[in-house]
A = this chain, B = another copy of it.
Amino acid sequence: MPSCTFALKILPLVTGRFGSRASCPALAAVRALSCTAARCQLHNVKGTGALTGKVDRFGGVTVNLAEIGLPADISEKSFSTLLQDSLLQWKADGKVAVWLRVPISLSRCAAAASTHGFTFHHAKHDHAVLALWLGEGESRLPGFATHQIGVAGAVVDESNGKVLVVQDKNKTKNAWKFPGGLSDPGENIGATAVREVYEETGVRSEFRSLLSIRQQHNHPGAFGMSDMYIICRLSPVTYDINFCTQECLRCEWLDLTELAKTNETTPITTRIARLLLHGLERGFQHVDLTMEELPAVYSGMFYQLYHRQLPPTLKP
């Protein structure tokens, strides 16, 4: 009796948020059957189960399939039936959206959910999150992260007007550029710049300011997503070059005046070289966005804020 076994297994699911809702007919039906406790009678429960979810303040339901006692070997068909019943209930309850958090080992449930209109919202490491909009009109669900953050560091030696530049090993055109790379998850912009400069060139440096931001969509290598490329100004702490031969073909301290006029570079590097020359001559306050750490209003955690420096009289 496979469907009888299935009904037994899903009983633990119909607890939780429906527990205090006397008006829930599915729950009432399941409760009545739980009382009799006879295995064969449970055979008829099919269609009355409902997935247990957490309701958010926007009227969405989140179900974590790892936390609701789902059988590890639940079939796509069985999960589909269970989800269908739950969807009817959620729609009747006026819920506007459903989120399903699916552990990778239960991925077949994602396939089952897709037959009911669910799509992937995102996936990380060992789980995927699917979503279905039940409300009126177009979905108002927030999207997932859209940008990777690339950071480069322009390490300027103010004593001689030189800047640290590299040529990538894997590019067809050998162009001088500032060392840099992608931010790791949770890494601050300045920390990425300092880390990437060290990994590529062996030079230790300190964060000074943010110089420019470039936004680019459908970026090659960003898996169809967008790229935010940020160039920071850094000050050298050490000067000896010991560059990564896996990533770089060449690495040098180059005169900023030379970098500003050479064709052997990219347009953005030329632009930053000009900004840096202007800064060297007139003071970096003319090109910098300075950084400050402030506590977040709600969480109390610190964030980094970058903007033009205010005159001392206007500072907080």
- The interface of chain A, by Cβ under 8 A from chain B, is 57, 76, 104-111, 114, 119-129, 142-149, 170, 173, 175, 182-186, 188-189, 210-218, 220-226, 228, 266-268, 270-272, 274-275, 277-278, 286-289, 294-299, 301, 303-308, 310-311, 314, 316
Does B215 contact A142, Cβ atoms closer than 8 Å? Answer: no
Residues on B with C-beta less than 8 A from A213 are: 210, 213, 289, 305-307
Given A189-B215, A305-B268, A314-B278, A182:B143 Cβ within 8 A: yes
Given A120-B126, A142-B221, A146-B145, A301:B186 Cβ within 8 A: no
Does A266 contact B221, Cβ atoms closer than 8 Å? Answer: no
Cβ-neighbour of A147 out of B121, B128, B228, B307 (below 8 A): B228
Assembled-state Cα–Cα distance A146/B145 (Å): 6
Residues on B with C-beta less than 8 A from A297 are: 173, 175, 266-267
- Copies of this chain present: 2
Chain B CB within 10 A, most for which of A124, A189, A266: A124
Residues on B with C-beta less than 8 A from A299 are: 218, 220
**Residue of B whose beta carbon sits closest to that of A146:** B185
Does B144 contact A146, Cβ atoms closer than 8 Å? Answer: no
Given A149-B147, A274-B314, A124:B120 Cβ within 8 A: yes
Does A145 contact B222, Cβ atoms closer than 8 Å? Answer: yes
Nearest CB in chain B: distance from A223 CB, A: 6
Given A143-B148, A146-B145, A316-B271, A215:B304 Cβ within 8 A: yes
